[in-house]
């Protein structure tokens, strides 16, 4: 089944580390953008079965619940949306109220993903986030009150001035709330990020690399102890509550993307919509193609992607699935190169799956580089 991704590129303020496709909220622009989104969804309607919708951004929770409802309805009428489809809204804690959350639920949202990032106010301030730790806890409680039974929280580790213990304090605070799902990301500071200047000005530093490894491994073992199952390098969940939408990206699945900068992958073709919000709206209004990139993926690219994304998963890559889809016996072809990783306990091959160990996940790129190799025939 297809996944449907809807991009909402508006934020109340721009965080100093953010490298996503987003801009400042503007009511008029938002109204025009929504009109364009509904047109694009209608244009791509083909009645195919779909079982997930994911509102990502930006800050999708800045939309009115009625606007979210219109988009969900458009997806429902344009595609054969499964009755128990997973419909996720990314939300920033400062944007929600009890009433708005109730209305989002009525609009069809059944999963929330809160961008919490940290439960320590000084860290949130260094990241120029608009919420406090107390507001994040309050938003979570309001979401529970509104009836949300599937909530994910995002945290970021290796923040400026963050010690290992301070990071664990945030992880423990997350566990105390008891969300169904959590994503833990390493902060990446891109070259022109305003955060880089702020760090230089304020003499903030990052903990050493070894501490980053300890942060990752320590957080995962705390989450293990609390009953969460790690299913992907950065993601854990309660049993059966993995993100069905994101799993499509990691299991060689297919998805459509709506909105500026949204990607789609279907039948071996990768497409990307024009990134600028204004250009996207004009292209929709003029009936021009929205895709600035359209590439038929070569067999080699499809194979590499299936292996790279599969290795991100805790269960690893199914050797027989790769063989039947790409005609490659993974171990026969790459076993000699992979064996040193097995000897170092970074990789496991059990005859059915090739998977990274948790230590191996820290060195995933090195292992993955083995597969960038001779073309698939
Ligand atoms: S809220 Fe998210 S998308 Fe918006 S600026 Fe901050 S990090 Fe970027």
Label residue 293 exposed, middle or buried (CB < 10 Å: 0-12, 13-18, 19+): exposed
Q: Which pLDDT value is given to residue 237?
A: 98
Number of Cβ within 10 Å of residue 375's Cβ equals 9
The per-residue b/e assignment along 69-100, b for 16 or more CB within 10 angstroms, e otherwise, is bbbbebbeebbebeeebbbbbbbbbbbbeeeb
Residue nearest to atom 8 of ligand 1 (CA): 18
Tens digits of residue pLDDT in 231-273: 999 999 999 999 999 999 999 899 999 999 999 999 999 999 9
Q: How far apart are CA 31 and CA 122, in angstroms?
A: 35
Tens digits of residue pLDDT in 99-150: 999 999 999 999 999 999 999 999 999 999 999 999 999 999 999 999 999 9
How far the first Cα of the chain sits from its last, in Å, is 28
Whether 171 and 155 have beta carbons less than 8 Å apart is answered as yes
Residue 92 in contact with ligand 1 by CB distance below 6 A: yes
Whether the pLDDT of residue 276 is over 70: the answer is yes
Q: How far apart are CA 124 and CA 122, in angstroms?
A: 5
Whether 38 and 69 have beta carbons less than 8 Å apart is answered as no
Give the mean model confidence (pLDDT) for residues 212-219. Answer: 96
Whether the pLDDT of residue 277 is over 60: the answer is yes
What pTM was computed for the model? Answer: 0.95
Whether the pLDDT of residue 219 is over 90: the answer is yes
Residue 21 in contact with ligand 1 by CB distance below 6 A: no
Give the mean model confidence (pLDDT) for residues 361-366. Answer: 91
Tens digits of residue pLDDT in 92-101: 999 999 999 9
Q: Ligand 1: distance of its center to the CA of 125 in Å?
A: 14
What is the DSSP code string of 291-330? EEEEEEPPHHHHHHHHHHHHHHBTT-EEHHHHHHHH---H
Q: Residue 377: which pLDDT band, with cuts at 50, 70 and 90?
A: very low
Specify the residue for token string 């990752």. Answer: 216
Tens digits of residue pLDDT in 27-74: 999 999 999 999 999 999 999 999 999 999 999 999 999 999 999 999
Q: Which pLDDT value is given to residue 293?
A: 87
Lowest mean pLDDT across 13-17, 112-116, 238-242, 295-299: 295-299
Q: How far apart are CA 19 and CA 15, in angstroms?
A: 9
Of all residues in the chain, the percent with pLDDT exceeding 70 is 99
Structure token pair of residue 283? 């292209």
Of all residues in the chain, the percent with pLDDT exceeding 90 is 90
Q: Best substitution site from 21, 58, 185, 261 to test ligand 1's pocket, by max atoms within 8 Å of Cβ? A: 58
Q: Which pLDDT value is given to residue 22?
A: 95
Tens digits of residue pLDDT in 136-194: 999 999 999 999 999 999 999 999 999 999 999 999 999 999 999 999 999 999 989 99
Whether the pLDDT of residue 21 is over 70: the answer is yes
Q: Taking Cα atoms as reference points, which of 328, 306, 332, 305 lies closest to residue 317?
A: 306
Q: Residue 374: which pLDDT band, with cuts at 50, 70 and 90?
A: low
Q: How far apart are CA 150 and CA 334, in angstroms?
A: 40
Residue 62 in contact with ligand 1 by CB distance below 6 A: no
* Average pLDDT over the chain, rounded to an integer: 95
Q: Taking Cα atoms as reference points, which of 105, 199, 93 lies closest to residue 154?
A: 93
Residue 124 in contact with ligand 1 by CB distance below 6 A: no
Residue 223 in contact with ligand 1 by CB distance below 6 A: no
Residue 15 in contact with ligand 1 by CB distance below 6 A: yes
Residue 141 in contact with ligand 1 by CB distance below 6 A: no
Q: Ligand 1: distance of its center to the CA of 194 in Å?
A: 13
Residue nearest to atom 5 of ligand 1 (CA): 14
Provide the 3-class DSSP secondary structure of residue 193.
coil
Whether 249 and 255 have beta carbons less than 8 Å apart is answered as yes
Whether 55 and 110 have beta carbons less than 8 Å apart is answered as no
82 sits in which H/E element? strand 80-91
Residue 58 in contact with ligand 1 by CB distance below 6 A: yes
Q: Which residues pair with 232 in a beta bridge?
A: 235, 313
Q: Ligand 1: distance of its center to the CA of 153 in Å?
A: 15
Q: Which pLDDT value is given to residue 291?
A: 86
Q: Which pLDDT value is given to residue 373?
A: 66
Q: Which pLDDT value is given to residue 133?
A: 98
Whether 129 and 15 have beta carbons less than 8 Å apart is answered as yes
Provide the 3-class DSSP secondary structure of residue 77.
helix
Q: Ligand 1: distance of its center to the CA of 11 in Å?
A: 6
Residue nearest to atom 3 of ligand 1 (CA): 58
């Amino acid at each position: 089944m297809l996944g449907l991704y809807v991009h909402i590129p508006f934020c109340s303020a721009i965080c100093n580390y953010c490298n996503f496709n987003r801009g400042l909220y503007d009511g008029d622009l938002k109204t025009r953008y929504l009109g364009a989104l509904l047109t694009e969804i209608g244009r791509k309607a083909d009645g195919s079965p779909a079982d997930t919708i994911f509102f990502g951004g930006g800050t999708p929770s800045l939309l009115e619940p009625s606007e979210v409802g219109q988009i969900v309805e458009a997806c429902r009428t344009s595609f054969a949306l499964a009755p128990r489809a997973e419909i996720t809204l990314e939300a920033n804690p400062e944007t929600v109220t009890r009433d708005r959350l109730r209305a989002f639920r009525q609009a069809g949202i059944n999963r929330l993903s809160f961008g919490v990032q940290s439960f320590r106010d000084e860290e949130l301030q260094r990241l120029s986030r608009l919420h406090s730790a107390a507001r994040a806890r309050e938003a979570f409680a309001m979401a529970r009150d509104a009836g949300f039974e599937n909530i994910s929280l995002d945290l970021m580790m290796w923040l400026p001035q963050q010690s290992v213990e301070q990071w664990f304090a945030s992880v423990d605070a997350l566990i105390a709330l008891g969300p169904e799902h959590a994503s833990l990301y390493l902060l990446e500071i891109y070259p022109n990020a305003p955060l880089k200047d702020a760090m230089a000005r304020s003499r903030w530093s990052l903990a050493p690399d070894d501490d980053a490894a300890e942060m990752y491994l320590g957080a995962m073992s705390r989450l293990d102890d609390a009953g969460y199952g790690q299913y992907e390098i950065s993601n854990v969940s309660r049993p059966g509550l993995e993100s069905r939408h994101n799993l499509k990206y990691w299991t060689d699945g297919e998805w459509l993307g709506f909105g500026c900068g949204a990607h789609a992958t279907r039948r071996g073709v990768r497409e990307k919509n024009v990134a600028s919000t204004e250009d996207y709206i004009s292209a929709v209004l003029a009936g021009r193609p929205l895709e600035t990139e359209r590439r038929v993926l070569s067999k080699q690219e499809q194979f590499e992607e299936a292996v790279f994304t599969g290795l991100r998963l805790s269960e690893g890559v199914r050797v027989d699935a790769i063989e039947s889809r790409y005609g490659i016996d993974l171990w026969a072809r790459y076993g000699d190169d992979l064996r040193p990783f097995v000897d170092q306990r970074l990789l496991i091959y059990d005859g059915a799956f090739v998977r990274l160990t948790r230590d191996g996940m820290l060195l995933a790129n090195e292992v993955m580089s083995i597969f960038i190799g001779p073309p698939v025939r």
